[in-house]
Structure 1
Amino acid sequence: DFKNAIVLVPEKKHEIIKSFRITKDGIYYTTTKNGIEAKLYLYSHGKDNYIKLPYPSGNIDLESKGENYSDIWITCSGWANDRQRFKYDPKNKSFKPENLVPLIEYPEFRDIIAKELIVKARDGEEIPLSLIYNKNIKMNGKNPLLVESYGSYGVSYNPYFAKSYLLWANQGGIMAIAHVRGGGEKGEKWRLGGYKETKPNSWKDLIDCTEYLIKENYTSKDKVAIWGGSAGGITVGRAMTERPDLFKAVIAEVGVMNPLRDEVTPNAQPKEFGTVKDPKEFKILLEMDSYHHIKKGVKYPATYITGGINDDRVIVWEPVKFAAKLMANNSSSDPILLKIDFDGGHGANIPTNQFYSNLSDIFAFAFWQLGHPDYQPKEN
């Protein structure tokens, strides 16, 4: 009877309930705080019991045999930790490793650590910011920094064992994930904080996170690259056109660069971004349109833009239009590169070697522009 339902576990102020399993001992459930810190609880006999994990995690998966058994397994993972499976003993409150396959050792990533920060945005909102880097680097303002962000559809960047990020860190760079508004890290409120008329928060959060990292001496303006794919193209494109002085390089991967015209494409998303048929929403779309914010004579950062001929989600002419206008109006000598994939589409369902080839192009471009000595063009 949902009209007279009994609330067993009320909504927590700073945590979002993600999943649950019922056993004979009660209800095990998981939450995330800020989308980056996973927690485990057991609701039993009217009490809410916090269970300390074997190590700090960003993700938890639960498995159980059913409500007539005590058996419960958890699988933990994080930015610098591969997935590990444990069986939990509720009597002894202990975890025993029970991995289904042997764990793979990655000795090259042994010194890579993850750090979670909170950055105050210009309006006082607290933006979660994840950092991944080698623990031995010096915070001297000279580290190559690559910031990835998205900020649409309520999608969260939950921590997972991201070997691609670790590869960047292994080359001496700092990898950052800015959990900007429009995502789902803090629930529905967070999604609506970067939605339609509030969409500018997405790129302003990215700008504020970048300025924070520069201020705290993690990096400097000539060592910063930002990276966004798909709807993340709105975030990085508008950050770039609003603050072209703040970034050395920008990567827009199959990005939504011209949302004002998105409605005429096969994957039109008027519910998410707005419709040009509504005068108010037309202005909203215009504000988030990077193509229409390119100005003549401005010195823009080095830019790497990609598109896919078979992409039916972000039609290929969006990134192409953006690249063409940027080339025609840019007054800096930094390169603007456009790469069109004639085989793939929106980045999914492509061979593994092509995925890593695309990733290597992005990383090589960023390291080149950020001055990494191993990625500078060599004369024959």
Structure 2
Amino acid sequence: MSTTLVSCAPKSGRTPYKWPSVDAPTAAVMPHIRTLHGDTVIDNYFWLNDYFKKGPDSAAVIAYLEAENQYTAAMMKDTESLQTKLFDEMKSRIKEQDESVPYFKNGYYYYTRTEEGKQYFKYCRKKGSLEAPEEILLDVDAMAQGFSYYAVGGFNVSTDNRLLAYGVDTVSRRQYTIHVKNLETGETLADAIPGTSGGSVWANDNRTLFYTQNNPVTLLTERIMRHTLGADSRSDAVVYHEEDNTNYIGVGKAKSGKFIYIYSGGTLSSETRYLEADNPMGTFKVFQPRMKDVLYDVTALEDRFLILTNQNAKNFKLMECPFGQTGVAHWAEVIPHREDVLLEDVDEFKNFLVVSERKNGLIQLAVRNLSDGAAHYLDFGEEAYTAYPSTNPEYGTSTLRYAYTSLTTPFSTYEYDMNTHEKTLLKQQEVVGGYNVGDYVTERLYAQAEDGTEVPISLVYKKGFKKDGSAPLLLYGYGSYGATMDPSFSAARLSLLDRGFVYAIAHIRGGQEMGRQWYEDGKMMKKKNTFTDFIDCGRFLVRQGYTSPAHLYAQGGSAGGLLVGAVANMAPELWHGLVAQVPFVDVVNTMLDETIPLTTNEYDEWGNPNNEDAYRYMKSYSPYENIEAKDYPNILVTTGLHDSQVQYFEPAKWVAKLRSTKTDNNVLLMKTEMDYGHGGASGRFDYLKDVALVYAFLCALEGITE
């Protein structure tokens, strides 16, 4: 198939980008028949999962992905100088030699710092004072040498400050090996624990580690293990085995250091076990056996437990109980359920609670004095923003550390005295080269969905923008798992705004912006609300003159890529271009295959297609299943060969089927990162190459060459 396209020229008179005439790859057709619930489907590109399945056509899969990469490179060749300019521009805004705001824990100040030209960071501490000598605990720049991908996480220092446990992933499949370093001698111990989620918890004896072990095939979190320093990890004890493969599990520790928790939770219900951290060889006790359709989360204070739960409280309420009587019969109300306020989280301190609430789509932080029950809210003073408690590991402090950002305010770290109510700005992200907040405008709008629901939109643009429909607008959305897409600052995004783009976030159902019901109304058998909300937001922005279909673009990743694929089928005429990153677009086939990572965990989000009603509903919106012989917008798809969340073959199959079915002459490009996974590159600069590719694609469609 030969593609030669001249994109729509903007009203500004820009010269349209002329796509080269290059033959697009054609994937082989190998029919595979799926029959379920009396419904027979022929899948011509099922074979593209062979690399993942280690099947006979693995080499052919790699050859196809590489051919798509070569095609994308050829089609985008004339944008290479623009991509380089965008990358350099975005990189130049990053302060290369920088340092995080130190936090104090157990006698030490901890921080990370970066050096000029280096991709990674150094994890450091100082004893007692910021004037003390620096200890470099991990030099990740040195550790990462020779690896195309290198991620370190789960930093966990023992209570005696002598040992550091941390996880390393060199494949980008979120399978970490835990290592332990002696911080007094600098020696990395022989203990190496593979196949974990990366995090761990020290017992108070400073020699026992609890961690989460993953299934090597499905990557599901299946077991909580206990490791004794010096022992072979193959002999580690199983302290908890989760039998329900729809649940995620994890292990954590109370801020007070008194308890270790095991959490097991799905979309609809959860269960907690706990153990005194002084008794690592003891048996974990069940806090409250799991209850149907009830989520609960446990926080320990000095003399009692707090329980955040949705039991008879859709937007959650806060309860308490004595240490020795943790069953639901002993729970007493602390903060009642409210119809208009979602209770999201609780941060505990010895004398205070900080409660994260969401009202009208925005976070509020309420500080409660535990001695007298008095409460007050922090004032943020902007129309649309993001705020959240950041690193607060010290239990006895009266100082709250919180983060704040908006579409126009760079990430800022504040310290707040919970006694005096005074706040101090500790650090604001520096935009190298200068940034004037007054040059940009942010708005909060509401679009009416087809069923009358008011859907919030946050947007930002450069001052001087005119609502005459001629401006390009990039609409971003996610809308799944109850994940809230709060507005935040991006220095890289300035490269779009400065070229005349409007950037907007559609706070669609399936997220939790407007309360728990917002999530409930965008999942399972109501999933299509997510897609129609997004389409209605796009149409609203067109009607209001912010853009027009000739200049409207959509972007989403992972479950947001499902969103992009769905709206491509449902309203292709509304968009000039789409960007789908690591997109979850083959919903039915993935949810039928329990060997694929995350599948069983997701049944309460999407449904189990072995149930006929769920099968027919998800088939009715799954992007791959609903491709038709019609015109589609220009599309850029990105994925990673080692993606553990959305396997590479979903976007590959989607692109192959689109190529063979669509009737337009618009561009369809796919870029597969052969060394990376779901999150892309691990270095702090390399990921900008992917951003530059996306921005150059959008600019090409707008005829922007500089």
Q: Which TM-score tier does this pair reach, normalised by the shorter chain? A: 0.7 to 0.9
Q: Secondary structure at the match of 1:181?
A: coil
Q: Distance in 2 between matches of 1:51 and 1:351?
A: 35
> 2:647 is aligned with what amino acid?
I
Query: For 1:168, what is the secondary structure of its paired residue?
Result: helix
Distance 1:87 1:289, change over 3 A: closer
Would the aligned equivalents of 1:155 and 1:184 in 2 still touch at CA under 8 Å?
Answer: yes
1:10 aligns with 2:336: yes
* Superposition deviation, residue 81 in structure 1: 1.5
- Segments of 5+ residues of structure 2 without an aligned counterpart are 1-320, 322-327
1:109 to 1:283, Cα distance in 2 relative to 1, 3 A: farther
Distance between the aligned counterparts of 1:74 and 1:294, measured in 2?
45
Q: 1:367 to 1:283 in 2, by over 3 A?
A: same
- Residue equivalent to 1:104: 430
5 Å matches for 1:14-163?
A: 14-22=340-348, 26-35=352-361, 37-44=362-369, 45-53=372-380, 57-61=385-389, 70-89=398-417, 93-99=421-427, 103-105=429-431, 107-108=434-435, 110=437, 111-163=439-491
Q: 1 CA distance for matches of 2:424 and 2:685?
A: 36
Which residue of structure 2 lines up, in the alignment, with residue 378 of structure 1?
A: none
Cα offset, 1:357, TM superposition: 1.0
TM-score by structure 2 length? Answer: 0.49
CA shift at 1:40, angstroms? Answer: 2.6
Equivalent AA in structure 1 for residue 661 of structure 2: N
Secondary structure of the corresponding residue to residue 315 of structure 1 = coil
Q: How does 1:1-380 map to 2 (within 5 A)?
A: 1=321, 3-22=329-348, 26-35=352-361, 37-44=362-369, 45-53=372-380, 57-61=385-389, 70-89=398-417, 93-99=421-427, 103-105=429-431, 107-108=434-435, 110=437, 111-262=439-590, 263-264=592-593, 266-270=596-600, 271=603, 272-296=605-629, 298-348=630-680, 350-369=682-701, 371-374=702-705
Contact kept in structure 2, 1:257 and 1:289, CA below 8 Å: yes
For the structure 1 residues 90 and 150, does the alpha-carbon distance in structure 2 shift closer, same or farther, using more than 3 Å as the test? closer
Unaligned runs of 5+ in 1: 376-380
SS of alignment partner, residue 184 of structure 1: coil
2:431, 2:579 → 1: CA distance?
Answer: 31
Q: CA deviation at 1:356?
A: 1.0
Give the letter aligned to residue 38 of structure 1: I
How far apart are the structure 2 equivalents of 1:43 and 1:216? 43
Q: Is the 8 A contact 2:477 2:506 kept in 1?
A: yes
Alpha-carbon contact 2:577-2:633 (below 8 Å) kept: yes
Judge conservation of contact 1:119–1:209 (CA < 8 Å) in 2.
Answer: yes
SS in 2 for 1:163: coil
Structure 1: distance between partners of 2:429 and 2:534 = 35
- Paired amino acid for 2:558: S
Counterpart Cα distance in 1 of 2:703 and 2:360: 33
**Alpha-carbon distance, 1:237 to partner:** 0.8
Deviates more, 1:45-54 or 1:175-184: 45-54
- C-alpha distance 307-93 of structure 1, shift in aligned 2 (>3 A): closer
Cα distance change on mapping 1:55 and 1:177 into 2, 3 Å: closer
Alpha-carbon spacing, 1:92–1:268, altered in 2? closer, same or farther (3 Å): closer
Structure 1 CA distance for aligned equivalents of residues 397 and 495 of structure 2: 42
Structure 1: distance between partners of 2:574 and 2:681: 35
More helix by share: 1
For residue 334 of structure 2, give the secondary structure of its aligned residue in structure 1.
Answer: coil
Further displaced range: 39-48 or 246-255: 39-48
Cα distance in 2 for residues equivalent to 1:341 and 1:85: 34
| Per-residue deviation, 1:66 | 6.3
Contact 1:308/1:342 (8 A) holds in 2 = yes
For the structure 1 residues 321 and 29, does the alpha-carbon distance in structure 2 shift closer, same or farther, using more than 3 Å as the test? Answer: same
Aligned 8 A contact 1:225 1:248 in 2: yes
Residue range with higher mean Cα deviation, 330-339 or 308-317: 308-317
Q: Deviations over 1:272-316 (max 9, x none)?
A: 2223321111112202211121111x1111111222222232222
In structure 2, relative to structure 1, the CA distance for the partners of 1:294 and 1:76 (3 Å cut) is same
Distance in 2, matches of 1:316 and 1:63, equals 35
- In the TM superposition, residue 335 of structure 1 has moved relative to its aligned partner by 0.9
Shift of 1:151: 1.4
Structure with the greater alpha carbon radius of gyration:
2
Deviation, 1:16, is 2.5
The one-letter code of the counterpart of 2:496 is: W
Residues 22, 66 of structure 1: 8 Å contact kept: no
Moved more, 256-265 or 201-210: 256-265
Deviates more, 1:85-94 or 1:344-353: 85-94
- Alignment: residue pair count: 370
Counterpart-to-counterpart distance in 2, 1:365 and 1:177: 20
User: Structure 1 or 2: larger strand share?
Assistant: 2
C-alpha displacement at 1:268, in angstroms?
Answer: 4.7
